[in-house]
Amino acid sequence: MTERPDPGPTPVGGRSDRAADRPLVAVLDYGIGNLRSAQKALQRVGADARLTADPEVVAAADGVVLPGVGAFGRCMEALAEVGLADVAAEAVRDAVAGGRPFLGVCIGMQMLFEGSDETPGVPGLGVLPGWVRRLPDGVKHPQMQWNVLDWRRRPSIAVHLPEPSWVYFVHSYAADVPDDLIVATCDYGGPVTAMVERGRCRATQFHPEKSGAVGLALLRGFVAECAASSAAGSPSPREPHPAYRT
């Protein structure tokens, strides 16, 4: 896929120095994977997206994104090492309760659950019910391909996505979760959880930033919700998690 033009760097800090008329989206930076590709895609659809490990920037943001690639256990360890595990968990709880939007991507989705068969001794954040299991036997591991979403219901951030919605997957494990969380599946040796939602917390097993126009449309819906949440007077700035107060 052709590399998108870089919209350029964004300043670091809180609400006072954000780009004009762009919602501030904190992309949690824990040093694993190509986090900048998620940042660039969010910038392209109108966000003031910033890679950050600063809890104060996360607290000030209109929305939070947790990307992730690689191994579940190493991602969890890295998130904890930079002090973002509790920050991410609090952001999810806020979104579930109807606060500012949160988006998890790929391993960033898997980390929201209780744990994974990939690294059974390393717990997940445990903020959503479910366990991450290996894809079924009889299919190639990983699933590394475009696949079509089978919508069970459309989240508000996805109402403008075309039908069919083709998106890009790279994974060997997928979430086994309660049915009420699942908004979309894909077929890969049977139904595989592709997207979940609870409140304003959404998470995708696929990579929106690698999914062309469909992925950008989903991110555009997320950014629009971040902007609407900010305009509606969502508390701002938020207090950092107690563990990070000085």
Token pair listed for 80: 């904890």
pLDDT of residue 165: 98
Taking the chain (246 residues) in runs of 10, the rounded mean pLDDT of each run is 38 46 96 92 98 97 97 97 98 98 98 98 98 97 98 96 97 98 98 98 98 98 94 51 30
pLDDT of residue 234: 52
Amino acid at 237: P
pLDDT of residue 34: 80
| First vs last C-alpha separation in the chain | 45
DSSP string computed for 88-132: HHHHHHHHHTTSS-EEEETHHHHTTSS-BTTSTTS----SSS-EE
In 3D space, the residue among 127, 122, 102 whose CA is nearest the CA of residue 177 turns out to be 127
pLDDT of residue 21: 80
What phi and psi, each to the nearest 5 degrees, are found at residue 152? -90, -35
pLDDT of residue 212: 97
CA distance 124 to 116: 7
Give the global pTM. Answer: 0.87
pLDDT of residue 15: 47
Active site residue 207: yes
Q: Which of 90, 197, 209, 225 is catalytic?
A: 209
Q: Which of 75, 106, 201, 226 is catalytic?
A: 106
Please name the helix (run of DSSP H) or strand (run of DSSP E) that holds residue 146, with its range, or none: strand 143-148
CA distance 18 to 52: 14
Q: Which of 207, 225, 226, 241 is catalytic?
A: 207
Please give the angle made by the CA atoms of 113, 95 and 160, to the nearest 5 degrees. 100
Which 3-state string (H, E, C) describes 198-240? ECCEEEECCCHHHCHHHHHHHHHHHHHHHHHHHHCCCCCCCCC
Residue 206 DSSP symbol: S
